Amino acid sequence: EVQLAQSGAEVKKPGESLKISCMASGYPFTKYWIGWVRQVPGKGLEWMGIIDPGDSDTRYSPSFQGQVTFSADRAISTAYLQWSSLKASDAAIYYCARTDPFVAGRPFDLWGQGTLVAVSS
């Protein structure tokens, strides 16, 4: 089955670090880019950026540049979203999604189930 499976919910304190994951299965991992999307509960979708798992080329939204880090491990078909120091304003649901913008012109056509990140002192 073609799917993206994300890691479970996290509860963290401000200032803590965090790395959440997105494991792909059922398709060639390096054929598609992986994107990350933030959604504060009850609010809209925010495009954070994308990463090419093949060579770790990344494109960050200006709003998230320097605030988060994308990475990928081809050996285990897994993409990661990382924070070095969480803020209360990072509390949200984070989705990973597959995209092929360069070759096929495809937007996010496969989504993970989302990871809820809670940040509270």
Partner 1 sequence: DVQMTQSPSTLSASVGDRVTITCRASQSLGNWLAWYQQKPGKAPNLLIYRASSLESGVPSRFSGSGSGTEFTLTINSLQPDDFATYYCQQYNTYSGTFGPGTKVEIK
Backbone angles phi, psi at 88, to 5 degrees: -60, -35
CB 86 within 8 Å of CB 16: yes
Which residues contact residue 89 at a Cβ distance below 8 angstroms, ignoring those fewer than 6 apart?
A: 119
Distance in Å, CB of 92 to partner 1, minimum: 14
- CB atoms under 10 Å from CB of 107, counted, come to 10
**Which spans of this chain sit near partner 1 (rule: CB under 8 A)?**
35, 37, 44-47, 50, 59, 61-62, 95, 97, 99, 101-102, 105-109, 111-114
Which CB atom, from 3 or from 71, has the smaller least distance to partner 1? Answer: 3
Q: Which is nearer to partner 1, 45 or 76 (CB)?
A: 45
Phi, psi for 51 (deg, rounded to 5): -135, 140
Tell the smallest beta-carbon distance from residue 96 to partner 1 (Å): 9
Rank residues 5 and 88 by Cβ distance to partner 1 and give the closer one: 5
Q: For residue 95, give both structure tokens.
A: 């989705």
Residue the block writes with tokens 């990871």:
115
Q: Closest separation between CB of residue 88 and partner 1, Å?
A: 23
- The distance of closest approach from Cβ of residue 105 to partner 1 in the complex, given in angstroms and rounded to an integer, is 6
